[in-house]
Structures are given as structure tokens and as C-alpha cells.
Amino acid sequence: MTDQSMRGFLDMVERDFPDEFVRIREPVRQEFDMTSMVFEFEKAGRTPVIQFENVEGFDMKVVTNLAGNRTLLGAALGVAPDALPAAYRERCQNYIPVETLDTAPWQEVTFEGDELDLTKLPIPLHFAVDAAPYITAGQLSARDPETGIDTTGFHRLMLKGKNKLGLSLHSRRRMYEFHRRAEARGEPLQAAITLGIHPIHYMGSMAYHYPPGVRKLEIIGGLFGAPYRVARCFDSDLEVPEGAEIVIEGEILANTHEPEGPFGEFTGYASYRSTENVFVAKRISMRRDAILHSVASGTAADHILISSISREAEILNTLQRNLPNVTGVHVPVITAGGLMAIVGMKKTAEGQARQAIMAALGTEFYCKCVVVVDDDVDIFNLSDVMWAVITRTRADKDFVFIPGAMGAILDPTSDPEDHTLTKLGVDATKPSGRDFAERLTIAGGQRDRVRGIMERAGFKL
């Protein structure tokens, strides 16, 4: 049975991918060191899990960058990296009810009242622009006040005091709606923040499209291929992962707004836009030797890659219902994840690329640009994609604009008042039914031949 805890994942990485597990024993500062080290690794082409054993001024270890690496995420699901979107799509539709346990390791130590102090956690300050240290790996859970169905998802949490966190529900999805419904009744929303989850929970929490009666915890079970093991909170009927490191129970206040942000967001910009909500903590419980999980913020792959995979899966799902000749979808991390999608297709008729553009843009409102290419173009190689865009399009004919469409609030080009923006579709497929310029190619056998010569000349390929 898979160990469903964050520790289970860390053990797997250290055992099976030792080069992808880095321990930093030298003291590091709470300010900037942890997130900026993730960016230095990325600049060197690496995305290892990093565990900081010694954060100055704190006893607790911090682990980051658990989700920036397609190989490790594939290993977590037991599939090859390029099979991730398809595996994600299939397993997310196999809902498995949770298994509720009476006790959990995170119940070992618990603090409430005057003893509760969130400032004792080594919460990183990620960027110089950030208003305060931010919890970035807090899975917030709450129930729909009308149906009782719960959800769980990451939301940035600004440290505001011993028992207070600021948050922004800008994605305007289920949690935003649950809070709005509680507020309409004049009530706060009971909520719990879980820190220290397996990346499969992270993946499941990014599922967007599923029927209203389903619990995200059941989708996570589908991804694990087994019931997700959860335990009940002390102060509410919320259920959180049994394997968690830390659980913070409390509520999101009704009709209360306080300044929140700025925060270095996935777009690569400081975000000053926020719904400015307030979470008040009532209790914090943790393992005796709890490790703090932090997601590297900004444009780090740790922040973006799982959203990319879940959007690849959702868009593929929509497109292949109607266009079986779609060969793949890539949502690149470097274009801030969900803002852009590249679709590969084996075009058989004119107009299919535009069908794909409309369907892909309609699947996910974050998506503002869709590029469709022929299947001789490698959608995961952005140089190849740009080559196709520049050599296979005529701007007046192949670029489609959709003004006034719903965009992501955090997209700096979205209208500051109503958050709309102009979406773009690029048909970079060759015209069908007539000859087009012949692409230069080097045959596989020829490549093998010169690679052999190069290797014998001492070049490591």
C-alpha cells in the first residue's frame, strides 16, 4: 500500500532518486534563502526536493520543491513523465470514498489559546516584495454550507500575527463560493489548513472539472488508487489527511477584509490584487518532529507544474471528445502555466485548428492563448513551436482575437475593474489540401550515425 504521507514521498525520492534529494545542513535564513535556492537550482537545470535542516531561529526543518519535477511526479503515480496528463485524467474520474481513522500522528502535540503562536513556524519570506512571510503549502479545507460537500486547495496565507492569517480567494472557485455562501448566512466559514501533504494530494486539489456531489478527497483517492486515509479535526467535522505534518483549525471571517499582499505570484509579478479575507486560527496540532512544507512561489516549477499537468489533462479531455486527431496538449511552466496551451494535431480538414482553439479557450478561463501545431512539431519543445508559429502563420488569417473574455484576476493584462481580457488563438498548422514548403529533416539513422562518431570522438551525449 502506498504511503500517502509527505514523508512517504520523501522516502521514495531519497531511496529511488538520491540525486533529486538535497539536504542543506548549513544554517539558512527565513528571509529569501529557501525560495531563492530553488531558483538557483532551476537556473542550473535542476529541480530537486530540498530539505533545510537548520533554519536560523527555529527548531523545525523546512522542505520545499516537492512538485517541480515531472519525473518525480510520474514516479509518485507510477507512470512515465510523458504519460502524466493521460494518467491524471483517467484516475481523476475514478472517485474512491475516504477511509476515516480515529487518530493521526498530527494529533501528537496541540496548542490553543495563548499557547497558539504561528510566528514560531519557520514560514519563509519568499521575495523582497512580499508583505510578510507566507505559508504557500497550506491546503485549506472547508465544507459547502449548503450541501456539506468539502473541498481542499492551496491558498496563499500571509502571516499576520500569532493567530491570524490573511488570504486571497482570487481563483474564484469552490472555496470562494463556499465562503460567499457562509457570508450570505452571516456566518464565518469553518476551515482547516493542512501542511505537509503528498504531491498526489497537491495534484488532486488542482482538479477543476468534476460533478458537484464529488469530494476532492475522493479524487485524491482515485489518484492513489486506494481510499485516502483521513482523520477528523478536533473542533469541526472537517476531515484532513491522516499523514499530515501540521493542522491549523479555525475560520475565515464573514464580512471582514484587511489588507493582504503584495505577494510574488505565478505570473512572475508582484500581485497587489486580493480578496483580502481573514483566517483566525483556534488550534494548531502537529507531529512532535513536524517538518514544514513550503511551495517555492513566483514562477518556480514547484508552484506551476501541477497546474500545468491538470490543465493539460482537462484540455485533452475536452478536445479528444470531438477531435480524435488531437495528439497532445502542453501547458508550459515558463508561460506561467495555465495562461497558455499548445495543441498538437494531425489535421485532416480545414477549420479543425479553430475548433480546437475555441474548445481549449473555453475549457479553462485562465487560458488566454492557444497555439495549434501539426504533429511534426514537438509541443514540448518551445523552439520547435515558435518556428512553426513564425513560418506557418499569416497574421491576418491565422490569428484569432476574442475580446472581453473572462481572464485570471492575477493576469496583469486583465482589466482592473472587471478582469476581462483579449484571448488569442494561433493556427500554426499548414494549410491542408495543397503543397506547402517542404520541411528539412535529418533521418533517424543519420542521427544515430553521427552520434556514434561524436561519442567515439569523446563527446558525452
Ligand X SMILES: Cc1cc2nc3c(=O)[nH]c(=O)nc-3n(C[C@H](O)[C@H](O)[C@H](O)COP(=O)(O)O)c2cc1C
Residues near ligand X (CB under 6 A) are 136, 151, 153-156, 168-171, 173-175, 205-206, 208, 295, 303, 307
Report the nearest approach of ligand X to the CB of residue 180 (Å): 12
Give the Cα separation of 299 and 131 in Å (integer): 18
CB 54 within 8 A of CB 43: no
Report the nearest approach of ligand X to the CB of residue 227 (Å): 20
Distances (CA, A) of 124 to 36, 131, 134, 269: 11, 12, 6, 18
By the 10 Å C-beta count (0-12 exposed, 13-18 middle, 19+ buried), 64 is classed as buried
Cis peptide bond prior to 262, omega within 30° of 0? yes
Nearer to ligand X, 295 or 316 (CB): 295
Give the Cα separation of 94 and 134 in Å (integer): 34
Report the nearest approach of ligand X to the CB of residue 110 (Å): 26
Report the nearest approach of ligand X to the CB of residue 385 (Å): 24
Q: How many CB atoms lie within 10 A of CB 24?
A: 17
Report the nearest approach of ligand X to the CB of residue 243 (Å): 19
CA atoms within 13 A on the CB side of 251: 14
Report the nearest approach of ligand X to the CB of residue 30 (Å): 19
CB 252 within 8 A of CB 188: yes
Q: How many CB atoms lie within 10 A of CB 395?
A: 7
In DSSP notation, 294-314 reads: E---TT-HHHHHHHHHHHHHH
Q: Any bridge partners for residue 51, and if so which?
A: 23, 63
- Residue number of the CB atom closest to ligand X: 173
Nearer to ligand X, 51 or 151 (CB): 151
Nearer to ligand X, 62 or 385 (CB): 62
Nearer to ligand X, 89 or 170 (CB): 170
Report the nearest approach of ligand X to the CB of residue 10 (Å): 18
Nearest Cα to Cα of residue 175 among 220, 205, 211: 205
Nearer to ligand X, 127 or 208 (CB): 208
Report the nearest approach of ligand X to the CB of residue 420 (Å): 18
Nearer to ligand X, 49 or 371 (CB): 49
Give the Cα separation of 142 and 209 in Å (integer): 18
User: Taken in order 399, 403, 407, 411, is the CA torsion positive or negative?
Assistant: positive
Nearer to ligand X, 156 or 330 (CB): 156
Nearer to ligand X, 273 or 392 (CB): 273
